[in-house]
């Protein structure tokens, strides 16, 4: 069971470069949840308490009620809020029945302190996301 959870985590782009030990520890603190279509994983303006890793399914990302993106299997939502300790910048709601791993934010920092590979993988993914956002903004100018 632990190997299957680790393999599913490895399919999440945020953790692709992490070693087995880091993924095993992370897997041990995640809750697996099945949610129906239309379920809000998080709401814009609310406190950031969890991160979500989509294992199956998809979700829409909205800001101010306007769709700005999508999250699919192998992607994550909410990790930026956990790292920045800021309010949610978007609402994320599932569009189909979806399986997610949920990380309670209080459990993230101790794992990051023990596993630098996890920090580096998250930093790389978040940097890529920032570069993509910059490119989209540049197109609109």
d(CA 8, CA 27): 9
Q: Is the pTM of this model over 0.85?
A: yes
* Residue 40: Cβ within 10 Å count: 14
List the end-to-end C-alpha distance of the chain, in Å, as a whole number. 49
Q: Are strands 66-72 and 58-63 parallel, antiparallel or unpaired?
A: antiparallel
Per-residue pLDDT averaged across 83-111, rounded?
A: 93
pLDDT in tens, 55-78: 999 999 999 999 999 999 999 999
Give the pair of three-digit tokens for residue 24: 């095993």
Domains of the chain with CATH codes: 2-140 (2.60.120.10)
Q: What is the Cβ-side half-sphere exposure of residue 73, based on CA atoms within 13 angstroms?
A: 9
- Evaluate whether 86 touches 61 at the Cβ level (below 8 Å): no
């Amino acid at each position: 069971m632990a190997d299957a959870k680790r393999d599913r985590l490895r399919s999440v782009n945020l953790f692709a470069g992490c070693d087995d030990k880091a993924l095993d520890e992370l897997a041990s603190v995640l809750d697996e949840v099945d949610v129906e279509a239309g379920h809000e994983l998080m709401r814009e303006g609310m406190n950031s308490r969890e991160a979500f890793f989509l294992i199956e399914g998809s979700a829409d990302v909205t800001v101010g009620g306007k769709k700005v993106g999508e999250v699919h299997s192998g992607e994550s939502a909410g990790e930026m809020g956990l790292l920045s300790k800021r309010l949610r910048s978007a609402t994320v709601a599932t569009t189909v029945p979806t399986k997610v791993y949920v990380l309670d934010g209080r459990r993230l920092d101790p794992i990051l302190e023990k596993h630098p590979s996890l920090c580096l993988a998250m930093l790389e993914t978040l940097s890529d996301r920032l570069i993509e956002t910059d490119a989209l903004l540049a197109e609109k100018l």
